[in-house]
Amino acid sequence: DKVFALHVAPELPVGTVSLSAGVQNASSDTFSIEITGKGTHGATPHLGIDPITTGCTIVTELSLIRSKLFDALEPFLINVCQFTSGYADNVAPETAVIKGTVRCLSEELRSQVQSHIERISRSVCSMKGCKCSITYNRVAPVLINSKEEAELAAKAISECGYTVESLAAPRLIAEDFACLLKEAPGCIFALGCGNADKGLTASLHSPNFDMDEACLQVGLECMLAIYLKLTESR
């Protein structure tokens, strides 16, 4: 069995696809760090244990993992996207929750980063007198296009008369098609859906995203060409 997929790409014009072998997209992991201190009245902070300042220290330390614990050229990202705590302006809260995402371009690096996040979070909480509960979810692996299938797809699409560009660099955006590529050889390519003349250039997941629907015909022809090329080789 072989697997193939496409994903729209507004940065590319209709009629152009981006396709390469090897690493294409980063892995995607999420983390949630729940910090439990001791709540108290806002006027008596000395009677409590503050989860907010503990969380601030954790956020600062996580931001230093990349610059202090790894070669600066290692391709990965740790991004804290949520920090929630408290419910009133005169109550020092008992808990705080930090949530974020991790993106890596190798499975080895992925495991190392997870280990550092968990170790640092627990160490800071222990130092501050707080309890720490960490949930770490591995959402999608690194996406790697297999060489033979990527070359077959590129040839099939080129023969349709469309432009095939090589991916300039792997992206930290994740794609769960990577899970299928763990089970069978194949590839995914980026299908141009942008049209600058029509003002259709907003990025993916932007509230202004829209696409030139002419790309639907292009995508259909590309996938059909790949299928026909596969049947030729059998």
Where are the CATH 3.30.70.360 domain residues in the chain?
Answer: 27-140
- What's the length of the chain? 234
Residue-averaged pLDDT of the chain: 96
What is the rounded CA–CA span in Å between residue 164 and residue 154?
Answer: 7
Q: Helix axis angle, 214-232 relative to 147-159, nearest 10°?
A: 120
In percent, the amount of the chain with pLDDT more than 90 equals 95
Domain(s) of CATH 3.40.630.10: residues in the chain: 3-26+142-232
pLDDT at residue 54 tops 80: yes
Instruction: Compute the average pLDDT of residues 43-62.
Output: 97
Question: pLDDT tens, 7-48?
Answer: 999 999 999 999 999 999 999 999 999 999 999 999 999 999
Flag whether pLDDT at 202 surpasses 90. Answer: yes
pLDDT tens-digit profile of 186-195? Answer: 999 999 999 9
Comparing 73-77, 97-101, 224-228, the range with the smallest average pLDDT is 73-77
Q: What is the mean pLDDT of residues 133-152?
A: 97
Q: Could you please report the per-residue DSSP string of 91-123?
A: EE-SEEEEEEEEEESSHHHHHHHHHHHHHHHHH
Percent of the chain with pLDDT over 70: 99
Specify the pTM.
0.88
Domain 27-140 fold is: Alpha-Beta Plaits (3.30.70)
Q: What is the mean pLDDT of residues 74-99?
A: 96
Which pLDDT belongs to residue 234? 66
Query: What's the CATH superfamily of 3-26+142-232?
Result: Zn peptidases (3.40.630.10)
Beta pairing class for 16-18 and 163-165 = parallel
pLDDT of res. 233: 63
pLDDT at 109 over 70: yes
Chain segment 64-83, per-residue pLDDT in tens: 999 999 998 888 999 999 99
